[in-house]
Each structure stands twice: as structure tokens, then as C-alpha cells.
Amino acid sequence: MKRIPSARSAGRPRSRAASAPVKRIAILTGGGDCPGLNAVIRGVVRAAILEHGWEVYGVLDGYDGLLSTDRLRRLYSHDVRGLQMRGGTILGTSNRGNPLHYPLEKKGKIRYADVTGDIVRNLRAMGVDVLVAVGGDGTMKITQALFKKGVRVVGVPKTIDNDLDATDVTFGFNSAVSTATDAVDKLHTTAESHHRILVVEVMGRDSGWIALEAGIAGGADVILIPEIPFALDRICAHIEERKRRGSRFSIVVVAEGAYPTGGEKIYEKPPGAAGVPGRLGGVGKWTADKISLCTRLETRVVVLGHLQRGGMPTTFDRILATRFGVEAVNLIAWKKFGYMVCLRGRSIESVPIARAIKQIKRVSPRGQLVRAAEALGIELGRVR
């Protein structure tokens, strides 16, 4: 890949003062992929070029791409033509290497170090005036750390879990819920035909937004979310009562972070040493096995997994992601660095990244959405 001119060779100032002119910006996508990322890229590129005449570069593979100076790609308007309808990200992404806690091998041993200083130096060497970071809470924490070190940054929130508290909704969530709802719709017919209990495991590490909304929309009989530890006996009693009333099948939607009362979350890969995060997975099978044991009914599990991240974004996500991208460019033009775009009501606004990463957004166990589910007769396993 062709190396772009350095700041020194391009005659660019090395000062990161907020008042310095903007001529070259870079955009990266971090964390897990989701529908709508390409629409953000398109919004940033077109608004930056058409309205301001700035150079736009894409960083390959998230923050990993800033650990060297040869992983930038110049982006032109024609590069993003029709991009709003494509899923994934043309820049690639990574959710493994955290620059704040980056694994380094020395003499056969792994140690973890903060390498954000290397990123700061590389950005200056490449003459990047502003960095636009698109990602979830992990990406935003890294972005805030760079801002504190003098990098001019703007954040764009992304997560299918919809668990960023600073914005009413994130793009990717609507697409994920649509995918999960479609799966639940289709599983109804096979569950009913074979008189089975089908347990559908969806994403949601700490929040149950996907499970709750897809479960309600798809007509699930049981919904299990991280915010409400579930009592297995209540689930089994609900399923058995349905059978007594003539319903010979049931659909259970469970978020990957859900767990039983008095129990713990179930991990496919447990958390490692030195703060290395684990990988959730297996609560669907665990729940299916327990239901089968206590009801003696045939029970199967379906794990949707990365299907929720893939595919084309919905119309809602295309529009929201595009608006986020354009507003990110506006923040740069206004010299409003260290801020993240967000949706408040119907308006695109902004919030300091430092505030955005303070807490995640969870489902309220007594909120309207939960009350609506229970009013429909959906069992959430709540201990009474």
C-alpha cells in the first residue's frame, strides 16, 4: 500500500491545537461489525469532500491500523457510491487488540502495555488533523484516551446491543432486531409442526434490548434478559401451563448475557488474566437442557450469532448512520473535538465522549417495555 506523505513532507503543522486548520481527516471503524458502518463512512466522506474540500483517509482494521503508518487508504466520493446499502465495513475492523491494553511478546512471554502513544505519533507523522472513530463503548474509551493526549477526535456510536446510554438508539440495532424477529417468525412454524420448545439465543452481553424487542415483535412465549435474573421453575411452569391450554410448542428468546437467579453468566471462553475479556455463549443450550429436563418436552436451541451483525442495513439504520456521518463532519467544522454524535428524540446532537462512556444503557426491569411484555402474558422468569 502506498504510504501517504508525512506531515513534515507535506508542510503540515504538528500542533494539535483546536484552532489549527483542518485539511486531512481519517476515519476508522472499531469493534464488531454491524449494518450501517458503510453508510457512516459514506456520510463522512461525501460531506467532508463536497462541503469542505478536505482529504479523507480510511484507517484499515480499526485501531490496529494506527499502530503503523502504512495502513491508510485515500477515499474519494466515487469510492463510497452506493455504499449505504452494504453491510459490514469496507475499512475492516478489529475487536481484539485494545491499544490501552495491547499484548506484546518479548522473549516468549506476553505482557500488556498502553500503546496509545505510538498511535499519537503515527497520526502526527501522517499529517492527520482529525480522527473520526466509529464504534461502541470500547472504541470510545480508546478515543477518549487519545483526546486526552492531544489528538483531535470525533466519535460516532455503533453497537447492535443498543447499550450506549448517551444516545437514544445506535445504528445497527434496528437491523439486528429485524433479523432476530425474522428468525423467531420462521421458527414458529417448525416449533408448532414438531410440538417442540425452541430456545433462540441472541446477542446482548449486558443489556437485553435485542431479546426483548425481537421477542415481543416475534411473539415469543418466554424472554430472558441480563437485567432480570430468571427463575427456571417459573419458565417451566409457564411452558407446562401453555401445554395444558392446548399450545404444544413454545418459543424462548434468551440474551447471551442472561443468567439464572443465584447463578452467573455462561461463557464459551472465560475471561483471562490481566483483564482479557471472555466470550459469552452457551446460555441457550443450558436453558434448553434445563427446560427439557424439567418438562420432559423435546427442546432445541438455535444460536443466531453473527447473523445479527450481517446483511444489509434497514432503511432506519441507513438514514441514522448517514445523519451521524454528516454530523461528525459538522463537529469537525465547528472545532467541537472530544464529542460524540448522538440521537436525542428526532434530532442529531452531540455529547462529550467522556460522558458517553460513563455508563451503559440497560433495560429497566420495571420499565414500559418490560411491563408491555408481561401484560401480553410473556414470561420473563422474574422472581415474585
Helix axes 315-333, 173-194, angle to 10 degrees: 160
Buried b (16+ CB within 10 A) or exposed e, 158-183: bbbbbbbbbbebbbbbbbbbbbbbeb
Of residues 33, 64, 137, 161, which has the active-site annotation?
Answer: 161
Burial of 191 by CB count in 10 Å (0-12 exposed, 13-18 middle, 19+ buried)?
Answer: buried
> CA 384 to CA 380: how far, in whole Å?
11
Place of cell 462541503: 51
CB atoms within 10 A of CB 187: 21
Q: What is the rounded CA–CA span in Å between residue 175 and residue 246? A: 34
What phi and psi, each to the nearest 5 degrees, are found at residue 256? Answer: -60, -25
Q: Which alpha helices (DSSP H) does the chain contain, by range?
A: 37-47, 116-125, 137-148, 173-194, 209-218, 232-244, 283-295, 315-333, 353-356, 368-375
Cα–Cα–Cα angle for 289, 291, 292, nearest 5°?
A: 65
Cross-strand pairs, 25: 56, 130
**Is the CB of residue 342 less than 8 Å from the CB of residue 348?**
yes
- Cα separation, 33 vs 313, in Å, equals 12
Whole-angstrom Cα distance, residue 76 to residue 78? Answer: 5
CB–CB of 100/141 below 8 Å?
yes
Does residue 36 contact residue 318 with C-beta atoms inside 8 Å? yes
Is residue 224 a contact partner of residue 287, using CB atoms and an 8 Å limit? yes
Based on the residue annotation, tell me whether 161 is a catalytic residue of this protein. yes
Pick from 46, 27, 58, 45: which is nearest to 156 by CA?
A: 27
Residue numbers annotated as active site:
161
